[in-house]
Amino acid sequence: MLKYHISDYKGKKYGHLTVISQSKNSDIPNGFDFKCDCGRIISFAPDRIIKGHQKSCGSCSYSRKPKISIDNYIGQRSNMLTAIGLSERRPSDKRQYIECLCDCGNKVRVLPYLFKNHKVKSCGCLLKNSPAYIDGRTKNPLYGLWKNMIGRCESPNHPKYYQYGKRGITVCEEWHDFWKFVEWSESIGGRPENYTLDRIDNNGNYEPNNCRWATSGEQAINKSNNLNIEYNGETKTLKEWSDLLGISWDVLHNRLRKGWTVERAFTEKVYK
């Protein structure tokens, strides 16, 4: 058997294995210690590694064969990305990634199914160059909520469109400007932690006079109590009575929740 001297090979890399020292393992005479890219150190007969029969420690993700055929992806385009090869597998990777070249020149790792279904549009440059990113709105904590509000009222593809847009619920023209929506929130003290956007009148639109920040419990009460209320021979929603009496919906709602009669809730003076 060919004799390998550690001084000739120390520091050299073969596949994912780097020669680090002479092995002290008596079961592998003249063996070397190798450090795998995953961090594991293991002893092997140098002949096995140097001739390419083993390329990793055998116990990490580097030892797994790709489950995809890269030939089916090489040269294919998806939005701004072109597949150029398999991405080098990292120890933390649970799946195989494709390496893609973006039209801007950057490289990015993309999961095959996201590439195939055109779910990833760029390396990230598209977002960074978008007006929403440039003017800072994407970093605002209200942006996702605002975008979702617009979507469920105006996008038939939104999973909750049937509950909103299909019912005729709209977003007022003013709130199509994200920063106007932020101004409204700040004008009522901002969004408290864990509160969500709630329409006071569930049949009304998203607009300043019909919205508030509320807990999920308050929203549930709002929905269950959004019944018609009879008073003086007339039946109206609580929102309609609020507008007619000049008493805020919150005040009327809180009075009724405390057990006040309709007569008392609708006639007692509001003290500020």
pLDDT tier at 154, thresholds 50, 70, 90 = very high
Among 38, 40, 32, which Cα is nearest to 11's? 32
Q: Which residue has the higher pLDDT, 96 or 171?
A: 171
pLDDT tops 90 at residue 229: no
What is the per-residue pLDDT for 224? 47
C-alpha dist (Å) from residue 120 to 41, 124, 133, 186: 37, 9, 17, 34
* Range in 80-94, 146-160, 195-209 the model is least confident about: 80-94
Between 66 and 198, name the one with better pLDDT: 198
DSSP type of residue 255: H
Question: Would you say residue 84 has pLDDT above 80?
Answer: yes
pLDDT at 63 over 80: no
pLDDT tens for each residue of 198-213 = 998 888 999 999 999 9
pLDDT, one tens digit per residue, over 18-27 is: 999 999 888 8
| pTM recorded for the entire structure | 0.43
